[in-house]
Amino acid sequence: MILLERPALALLHRLDPEVAHGLSLRALQSGLAPLPGPVTSPRLETTLAGLTLPNPVGLAAGYDKNATALAPLSRAGFGFIEVGAATPRPQPGNPKPRLFRLTEDRAAINRFGFNNDGMDAIAARLATRRRGAVPVGLNLGANKDSPDRAADFARVLATCGPHVDFATVNVSSPNTERLRDLQGRAALTALLNGVMDTRAQLARPIPVFLKIAPDLTPDDLADIAETALATGIAGIIATNTTLSRDGLSSPHKAETGGLSGAPLFEKSTRTLARLSQLTGGRLPLIGVGGISTPEQAWEKICAGATAVQVYTAMVYEGLSLIPRIAKGLDALAARNGFARVSDATGTGRDRWL
């Protein structure tokens, strides 16, 4: 698998990043990408908000925005998959170019702006998927020109919720103007209450997660933790991309948009550990940001995560990174004397506080 990936990645990196992104999805859809199938073991199996995961390594939202490659992604070694973000109406997103590789920094900057086919088209694809051992969730978004963005999240959940295993409220993308304002306490409480009311009306209520930004103050984090606990959501995903540009060397470092990849690891892990402390184990957390090795995934788990998600590192390492991280977590748990990877959750949190 790795031998085939190296020339494929080299070719993709000679192309425009968004074109390469599309080609990688088409390669998956056509069966050209070799896939390892399920990766699991007694140590790797994890329970997340009532969901049984074969392993705790998930795909972050943004790669398969329109749910067009669910079947092959379910065979790529992930323990769970998140697609989207989906908005009520289709929208083209921001003008191109809007995706940049920061190769020197092992990072990326995007300013897509929730480009997607809209909830009806995405729901139709989700409805025809073959359900299996790998849970599939949807990232909920809002239309840029919506008069009521908070209501958009509930609308998408009502339409797509029957066809997914979990949903994520995404108020942390930096690429839709003033979207992050919805992370404020009053606005977030109203939004989450609306989403949870919609969830209660589903024939099969599903876990609802909240995805937050890494650029929050300690007071902001405290408010979010209290709001999350009060509204009854299932967990928090920490974190989305950052607006920070500290320490970058790539010529693309001045591009606007959200930064993901290696430079985000420390900032997102500190946010994760702080949330773990604030919630006191009452909410499961999903760690995202800068993971490219089993050791970094293990560090997120020790900082407080029940599960992790990966995306940008695949740009540089390919899909073979996913089973490598999962198997590496199994080995790290055994080496550190844990019967299950999940038993390590929060055991190293104090290193990040």
Domains of the chain: 38-343 (3.20.20.70)
Q: In the prediction, which pLDDT does 33 show?
A: 81
Burial pattern 312-348, b for ≥16 Cβ within 10 A else e, equals bbbbbbbbbbbbbbbbbbbebbeeeebebbbebbbeb
What is the DSSP-derived secondary structure letter of residue 138?
Answer: E
Q: In the prediction, which pLDDT does 97 show?
A: 98
Residue list, annotated binding site: 61-65, 85, 110-114, 139, 170, 175, 211, 239-241, 261, 290, 311-312
Strand order through the sheet with 258-261: 99-102, 107-110, 258-261
pLDDT tens for the chain, 353 residues: list them.
Answer: 566 788 999 999 999 999 999 999 999 999 888 899 989 999 999 999 999 999 999 999 999 999 999 999 999 999 999 999 999 999 999 999 999 999 999 999 999 999 999 999 999 999 999 999 999 999 999 999 999 999 999 999 999 999 999 999 988 777 776 767 777 788 899 999 999 999 999 999 999 999 999 999 999 999 999 999 999 999 999 999 999 999 999 999 999 999 999 999 999 999 999 999 999 999 999 999 999 999 999 999 999 999 999 999 999 999 999 999 999 999 999 999 999 999 999 999 999 99
Q: What is the rounded distance in angstroms from the CA atom of residue 264 to the CA atom of residue 308? A: 14
Q: In the prediction, which pLDDT does 82 show?
A: 98
- Of residues 24, 172, 173, 342, which has the active-site annotation? 173
Burial pattern 135-161, b for ≥16 Cβ within 10 A else e, equals bbbbbbbbbbebeebbbbbbbbbbbbb
Residue 27 tokens read as 């390669």
Q: Do the strands 51-53 and 46-48 form a parallel or antiparallel pair, or are they unpaired?
A: antiparallel
Residue list, annotated binding site for FMN: 61-65, 85, 139, 170, 211, 239, 261, 290, 311-312
Q: Are 129 and 171 in contact (CB under 8 A)?
A: no
Q: In the prediction, which pLDDT does 2 show?
A: 60
Q: In the prediction, which pLDDT does 1 show?
A: 53
pTM, entire model: 0.97
Q: In the prediction, which pLDDT does 3 show?
A: 60
**Non-local CB neighbours of 292 within 8 Å, separated by 6+ positions:** 106, 262, 310, 313, 316, 317, 321
Distances from the Cα of 53 to the Cα of 22, 275, 338, angstroms: 28, 22, 18
Q: What is the rounded distance in angstroms from the CA atom of residue 130 to the CA atom of residue 127? A: 9
Residue list, annotated binding site for substrate: 65, 110-114, 170, 175, 240-241
Q: What is the rounded distance in angstroms from the CA atom of residue 257 to the CA atom of residue 100? A: 10
- Residue 165 main-chain phi, psi, to 5 deg: -95, -20
If DSSP codes are grouped into helix, strand and coil, which group holds residue 267? Answer: helix
CA atoms within 13 A of residue 260's CA, in its CB half-sphere = 32
Question: Among this protein's residues, is 268 annotated catalytic?
Answer: no
